Structure 1
Amino acid sequence: MEKIIHQTKTSHSWETHTICLDENEIKTQVVSNGWFKTPIPYSKIKRVIAHNKALNCVKLETDKGNYLLQASNSHQRDQWFHSLQWKVTLEQYRGILLNATSATLVQDLKLLVALAVNSHLYISDTYLPVLNIVSQLLSKKSASLSNISHEDLITALAPLVENNQPTHEICDFFIKHCRNAPRSLIVLDTFTQIVHRILKENVNFGKSSFLRLFVIEYIQALNCQNNPSEAIEKFLHRVHGPLSQCPHPRILSNLVSVCLSAIYHCFGSEIERKRNKKGTKVSNLHPAVVSHDLQSVNILNNQKTLSTKYMKNSLQEGKVADDVKTINTENSTLDMNLKESHSKQKLNKCLEETTSVFNIETMKLFVFVMDKILQIDDWGPNVAGLLQPLPFPDEALNNKEFLRAMYPLVERITQDSRDYVIKTLQHSREGKDGWLQLYSLNSPLCEDNGKLFSSMVTALLLPGVQSGKRKKFLTMLANSQLQAIITLAVRESEIMIQLLGEFLELDIIPDEQKQLQIVSTLLCTASGNKMYTELCSHRDVIHTMEGPTYFKLAPNSTIVDLQVLLGTGSWGNLRELDLSFTRPTAGIASTLSRLKNLKHLNLRFTDFNDKDLKGLCDSSLNLESLNLCETNVTDDGIQHLCVMSHLKYLNMNSTKLSLPVFTTLKGSLPSYVKYDVTYTEAW
C-alpha cells in the first residue's frame, strides 16, 4: 500500500513509501535516502498514537523523533494503529520475559498469554510471535527454569497451545515433563487436548517430527497411570468422538503413524548393531556410560534420524554413545586380549539387557494401542488395511516378542465379520509376505503349532472373501504352503483336509509326486479317507462327458435331492440347470461348483441368499445367464457378481437391489449384458 511518512524532529517533509510490518521492525520497500532510509525497530518505538483523525494519521514516538503515517482512509488507519500497537507491545514483553526473575516469570508469562488470547486482531499470525517469544524464553533460560514449577509454566501456556501448534522448544519442554512426571494431572488435563489437536490437524509428521515425539511420550505417560489400559481407552474414545463415525479423517492415520514409528525405533539398537557389524569400526563403550536406571534409557531422544523403506520420515533417536573407536591389539599380550574381550562381552551383554527390556515393553505398549484402535468399529478396517503390507522393519518381523505381541491383533482381524477386513490377512502385492505367511507353520517363529494359520485360512476361504479369485488363492497356498498344509492335515485339521481335496478336485497341482503326497495324506486320516472316496466318485460323475445338457428339478425338491442326483450317473455335459421353486437351496453353491460346463442357472423363488451367491462367485463357473428373481439376495451378495465376466443375462427382479450397487455392477460387467431389475430400487 502507498503510505505517507512525516518526521517531525527538525523539519516537516512528506515522503511516499510502501511500508512492510516485519517481525522485528518497520521497513520500506522503496529505495529511499530520506527520513526512512533505515528500518525502525519496534524496540525503539515508545508509543503509538492515533493522531489527527481528520488526516487519518498514526503517530510513532521514538528517541530520534516522531513519525506520522498517513493512511488513505480511517479503516486503514485503524488497521495500522492496532497492528503497530500489537507489535510494539510484543517487543516490550519479549524484553520483560527474557530479563525476568524466577519470582515474576510465571506471572509475566500469564499476562502475555492472556494478551494473545484476548486480542481482537483478525490476522493469521496473532499467536505465532507469542509462540516464538515463549520458544526463545525456553531455549535461553533453560537453567533458570529448573527453579520454577513446570506445572505452573504449562498451566500458563495452556490457553495458548490448546488451539495452536506448539513449537519445537515447547514440545521439548512438554516431553521433559512427560518423562519426569508422567502421573501428573497436567498430562491428563492439559496435554490430552493438545495431543488431540495435533492428531486432528497435523498433515505431515515428516516436517514436524517433534510433534510425533511428543505424542509418543504422552502415550507412554498414559501407560504410567494407575490403570493404563483404561487411560489409553479413554484417550482413544475422546479423540474418536461420540459419533459412530470419526469426523476427522487425519486422526487415524496420524495415530497409526505414531505407533509404527515408535515400534520401528524400539528395534533401532538392533538395526544399529547390524550396521556396525557390517562396517569396519567396533563399538567401544566404557562401563560408566551404561545407565542402570531404565527411565533414563530412552531410545526416542531427539538426537538422530533413522530412515526405513516403509516410512519416508521417522522419529529422531538417541544413542548411548556415538563415538566408535578401533581397537588395536596387535602388540598386546594374549592375557590382555582375553581380559579385554571378556570385559567387552560383559558390557555389551549388560547394555543389550538394559535396552532390550525397555524396547520390548515400549513395543508391546504401541502394539496394544493399535489393538485398541482396531477394536473401534469404523477405524478397524482402515487399521487392517494400513497393516496389510507389514510396515515394520525386518528386525521386528524376525523377532518372537513382536510376533507374540501382534498375535491378538491379527487374531482379531481373523475374527472380523467383514470380508474386506479379512482379506487384509493376505499379502498386498505378489511376491510379498502377509500375515498368513508370517504365522505359517513353515515359519521358524511359529509358536502355536499352526493354530492361527488354520484360522486365517478358514477365514480367507469364507464365501465372498476372495471375490472370484478362490482358485488363484488356492494356487498360492499350494505353491508356498503345501508342506504346512500336509502337516496340519495329518494332525486331522478339517480345513486343511478340505484344502487338499480341493487341490485334487481343481487340478491345482500338476506335479504327480505332490499329488501322490496329498493322496497319501488324505488316506492316513478317517475324514481324509472319506473325502478322497467322495472325490473319486464325483470325478467319475462330473468328468464323464455324457448325460443331459438340460435338467429341471421338480418344485419343492431339496438340496439333498440334488446332491443324491449329482452323486450318480453322468452330468459332465450339463449346461442348463433349472432349480426354480425348490426349497431349501441354502448351501448349494459348493454342489453347483462341480458342474464345470454349467452355463445357465435358474434360481427363481428359492431361498438362495448372499452367502450362497458369494460362494457361487468364488467358484470357477463361467455362467452366461443367472436368474435370481425373488430370491433373498441383497446388495451385500450382489456386489460380488462383478467377477462373472461371462454373463450375458442377469435377472434380479424383486430383490433388495439398490441403485448405487446396480450402477457399480453395470460399470464392472461387459456393456452387452442384459438386466432385469423390475420391482427393485434400481428400476
Structure 2
Amino acid sequence: MNPFGLLEHPLSYSCMQEVYCISRWDPARKYCLRIVMPHGSLLLQANDAYTRDQWYHSIIWRRNMIRYKNFLTKTVRKEVVLKELKNMVDFVMTTPLQDESVTRAPLQILTDLLSENKESEDWEEWAEMVTSAAAPLLAERCAAGDLCALLARLCRRRPRAAPLPALAPPVRRVLTRNVDFARAPNGRRLVRDYISALSAHNSGSSLVRRFVEVTHGNRATCPYPRAAPNLAAVALAALDDHYRDSATPHVCDESEEEVLCFADILEHMCEYEDWLVVVGAVLQPVPLCAGAMSCPRVAKRLGKLLNALAHDPRCAAHACVAPARAARLCPPSWLRAAAPSDPLLALPNEELCQIWGDMLGGLLNCCCKRKSFLQSMSKQLPDFVLVALTAHPAAIEALCLFLEWEVTTGEQTQLEIIATLQGTELGQKYYKDLCERQQNLQRLQSEGGPRRLALPVRATDADVAELLDAGALGNLECLSLAFTSVTSACAHHLIKLPSLRYLNLWATKFGDSGVQLIAEHLPKLQVLNLCETPVSDKGIEALSGLSNLRRLNLNSTKLSAEAFEVLRQRLPHLQEYDIRYTEAW
C-alpha cells in the first residue's frame, strides 16, 4: 500500500481465499475487514460498522457472481448446472445489498443460459427446467428485453408445458411497470405469448380470467395505472395481426381459437369499474379492423363490452361509444360500427338494435341530450327508425326530440318519423305526450304573464314544472331560482321560455348537463348566475355558445384557469364576470 492508504496494485477476486470481519480484538472500535490471500492477508479499516459490512457483502457478492458465471456457462452436465443455478438464486434472494447490479448480474447469467443452443431439439425442455429453477428470481426482479424474448419463445414453442407459475410474475411486472409500452417490444411479445399459452390449456378460459383478476388485484381500484392500457393494447394488437388480412366475407376456422382469448381479455377487463373507462378510451374510435368485427365470435364478445359501456352511469364510460364527430365514417365510432342499417359488427339484427339503442340511451340520459348531438347523428336517421320499430324507448325518445327541437328539416322526413312513432304502442304513447307538450308549449309561449318571477326557497323541480303548466309565460324575462332545491332536471322546462334573458341559479344543485342544455336552447340569455353550484369545466365550456351573454357569475364553482381563458376568448362581449374562489381567481 502507498502512504495514502491505497493499494498500489488491484486485487483479483480469484486470489481471495477468505474474507471475514474482525471483532474479537477490537477494543478501540476499529472496524476492520480481513482478506486472506495465498501469500498473506490484507486488513482494511472502515469508519463505521455499516461501511465495513457493505464492503464485506460487496466482496462476497462479486466473488460468488464470478464463480457462478464461470461455472454455469462452462459446465456441461445439466443436473449440475441446475443445482448451481438454484444455489445462485438462493444467494441472490438472501443478500442484503440493494444495488442495480444485484438485479442485473444474475438475470444476465440466466439470459446466457437460455441463449445457449437455442436451435437444439431439446432447448424447450432445457429452458423449462432453467425457468422453473429461477422462478424465485423472476418473481422479484424485472426481466430485460433479451430475457423477455427468450421467455416468449418458450411460451410459443411449448405452450402447454411452459412453466406458467414461474412466468406469471415477470409478465405482470411488464404490464404494470412499463410507462412507454411502445418501447418494450419484447415485453409486449412476452405478455401476448403468455396469454396464448394460458388459453392453450384445457381450462384456458378460466386461466385467462384468473390472469386478468390477479393483474387487477383485489382492491376496488387497480394500484397500477399502466396495467389496463398496456393489457388492452396487447389484446388489440393480437386481434389486428390475426384479422388484418383475413378473407372477405369472413369464414370461421380453427386458427381463430388461438386469438379469441384476447377478445376475452377485453371482455373480462370490463368487469372492473376502473378498467371499464380505460378500455372504453382505448377503443375510441374503433381501433379494430373490419375483419375482426366481421367474425361472429369476436363480435359477440365486443357486444358484451359495448353493453357494459352503455349501461355504465359515468359519462367517461358511455360517452366512449360516440366521439365528438359521431357520424364520421373513418375511423368510425361504435354508434357507426354497430348501426343496424349497415353494421360492421357481425351480430344478429335483433342484438344490434338492442345494443345500439342501449348506447343511445346511455348518452341521452346523461350529458348528451343536446341538439348538437342529435344534429351530428342526423345522417344516421335510418338507424333511429329501425331501432324505434323494435320499441326501444331510447330511439323513440330521440325521434320525439328530432321533432320537438326541429333537428330535421323537410316535411317528408318529419312524416317518416311520425309514421315510425305510430308503428308501435310505445311510440304512440311517446308521440301523444309530444303532441300534448307542444300544445302546452304554445300556451306557455303565448304573450302574457309576468316579466319577473322568483320562486321560494323550498321550490323543487316539480314546482318548476307545475309553474310552467299554470299559464302563459311568454313575457318572462327574469327568473330567479336562487337557494332552491332545483337540479339539472328542470333545465328541460327552462328551455321552453323563449324570452328568458336573466337566470339566477345561485346555491342550487344545477349541474353540467343542465348548463349544457340551456346553453343550446336559450340563445337570448344575457345574465347567468351559477354561484355556488356544482358545475365544472365540462358545463362551463358549453356557455361559449351564448353569444349574447353579458354578465356571468361563477363564484365558488369548479372552474379552472384554462377553461376560463377559453371562455373569455369565445365570449368577447362578456362585460362582467365573478370568478372568486375558483382556480381561475
- TM-score, structure 2 as length reference: 0.74
Structure 2 matches for 1:4-43, cutoff 5 A?
A: none
Contact 1:48 1:81 in 2 (8 A): no
CA 604–163 in structure 1, closer or farther in 2 if over 3 Å, else same: closer
CA 60–434 in structure 1, closer or farther in 2 if over 3 Å, else same: farther
Structure 2 matches for 1:127-206, cutoff 5 A?
A: 127-142=103-118, 143=120, 145-146=122-123, 152-167=129-144, 170-171=147-148, 173-175=150-152, 178=155, 186-188=163-165, 190-206=166-182
Instruction: Select which of 216, 228, 234 maps to 1:240.
Output: 216
User: Is 1:453–2:421 an aligned residue pair?
Assistant: no
For 1:357, give the aligned amino acid.
Answer: E
Secondary structure (helix, strand or coil) at the match of 1:125 reads helix
User: Is 1:596–2:498 an aligned residue pair?
Assistant: yes
Question: Relative to structure 2, which stretch is displaced further, 590-599 or 572-581?
Answer: 572-581
Q: CA deviation at 1:429?
A: 5.2
Contact 2:495 2:518 in 1 (8 A): no
Give the corresponding residue for 2:522.
Answer: 621
Contact 2:192 2:238 in 1 (8 A): yes
User: Is 1:372–2:268 an aligned residue pair?
Assistant: yes
For 1:460, give the aligned amino acid.
Answer: L
User: Is 1:673–2:577 an aligned residue pair?
Assistant: yes
Structure 2 CA distance for aligned equivalents of residues 170 and 651 of structure 1 = 57
User: Is 1:482–2:482 an aligned residue pair?
Assistant: no
CA 373–212 in structure 1, closer or farther in 2 if over 3 Å, else same: same
For 1:588, give the aligned amino acid.
Answer: C
Q: Percentage identity across aligned positions?
A: 23
Contact 2:515 2:543 in 1 (8 A): no
For 1:592, give the aligned amino acid.
Answer: L
| Superimposed CA distance per residue, residues 441-469 of structure 1 (whole angstroms, 9 cap, x where no aligned partner) | 22234523411111111111114x23xx8
CA 269–501 in structure 1, closer or farther in 2 if over 3 Å, else same: closer
Contact 2:284 2:323 in 1 (8 A): yes
Question: Relative to structure 2, which stretch is displaced further, 179-188 or 216-225?
Answer: 179-188
Structure 1 CA distance for aligned equivalents of residues 536 and 558 of structure 2 = 14
Give the corresponding residue for 1:340.
Answer: none
Give the corresponding residue for 1:317.
Answer: none
User: Is 1:396–2:292 an aligned residue pair?
Assistant: yes
Structure 1 CA distance for aligned equivalents of residues 181 and 325 of structure 2 = 26
For 1:209, give the aligned amino acid.
Answer: P
Structure 1 CA distance for aligned equivalents of residues 285 and 432 of structure 2 = 39
Instruction: Select which of 426, 441, 452 maps to 2:340.
Output: 441
| Superimposed CA distance per residue, residues 369-427 of structure 1 (whole angstroms, 9 cap, x where no aligned partner) | 22222222222222222222222234324444432220001100111011222211112
Return the index of the structure with the highest Cα Rg.
1
Structure 1 CA distance for aligned equivalents of residues 453 and 441 of structure 2 = 19
Question: Relative to structure 2, which stretch is displaced further, 659-668 or 377-386?
Answer: 659-668
CA 442–100 in structure 1, closer or farther in 2 if over 3 Å, else same: same
For 2:356, give the aligned amino acid.
Answer: F
Question: Relative to structure 2, which stretch is displaced further, 580-589 or 201-210?
Answer: 580-589
Secondary structure (helix, strand or coil) at the match of 1:601 reads strand
| Superimposed CA distance per residue, residues 160-215 of structure 1 (whole angstroms, 9 cap, x where no aligned partner) | 22232335564455446545765669423x22222222222223444432222222
Q: CA deviation at 1:476?
A: 0.7
- Give the unaligned 5+ runs of structure 1: 8-13, 20-25, 27-41, 275-348
Secondary structure (helix, strand or coil) at the match of 2:332 reads coil
For 1:247, give the aligned amino acid.
Answer: P
Contact 1:135 1:167 in 2 (8 A): no
Question: Relative to structure 2, which stretch is displaced further, 664-673 or 405-414?
Answer: 664-673
Structure 1 CA distance for aligned equivalents of residues 68 and 322 of structure 2 = 62
| Superimposed CA distance per residue, residues 340-381 of structure 1 (whole angstroms, 9 cap, x where no aligned partner) | xxxxxxxxx9xx97x83332x344322222222222222222
Structure 2 CA distance for aligned equivalents of residues 567 and 81 of structure 1 = 85
- TM-score, structure 1 as length reference: 0.65
Question: Relative to structure 2, which stretch is displaced further, 429-438 or 166-175?
Answer: 166-175
Structure 2 CA distance for aligned equivalents of residues 605 and 95 of structure 1 = 77
Contact 2:536 2:558 in 1 (8 A): no
Secondary structure (helix, strand or coil) at the match of 1:673 reads strand
Secondary structure (helix, strand or coil) at the match of 1:588 reads helix
Give the corresponding residue for 2:539.
Answer: 640
Instruction: Select which of 453, 456, 477 maps to 1:575.
Output: 477
Give the corresponding residue for 2:316.
Answer: 420
Structure 1 CA distance for aligned equivalents of residues 72 and 360 of structure 2 = 68
Contact 2:385 2:395 in 1 (8 A): yes
Secondary structure (helix, strand or coil) at the match of 2:265 reads helix
For 1:98, give the aligned amino acid.
Answer: K
| Superimposed CA distance per residue, residues 642-676 of structure 1 (whole angstroms, 9 cap, x where no aligned partner) | 53353735498xxxx7x766889877765832479
Q: CA deviation at 1:156?
A: 1.6
Contact 1:626 1:650 in 2 (8 A): yes
CA 3–427 in structure 1, closer or farther in 2 if over 3 Å, else same: farther
Structure 2 CA distance for aligned equivalents of residues 635 and 603 of structure 1 = 11
- Give the unaligned 5+ runs of structure 2: 20-32, 569-573
User: Is 1:211–2:114 an aligned residue pair?
Assistant: no
**Aligned-residue CA RMSD (Å):** 5.1
Q: CA deviation at 1:472?
A: 1.2
Structure 2 CA distance for aligned equivalents of residues 235 and 390 of structure 1 = 25
Structure 2 CA distance for aligned equivalents of residues 561 and 197 of structure 1 = 57
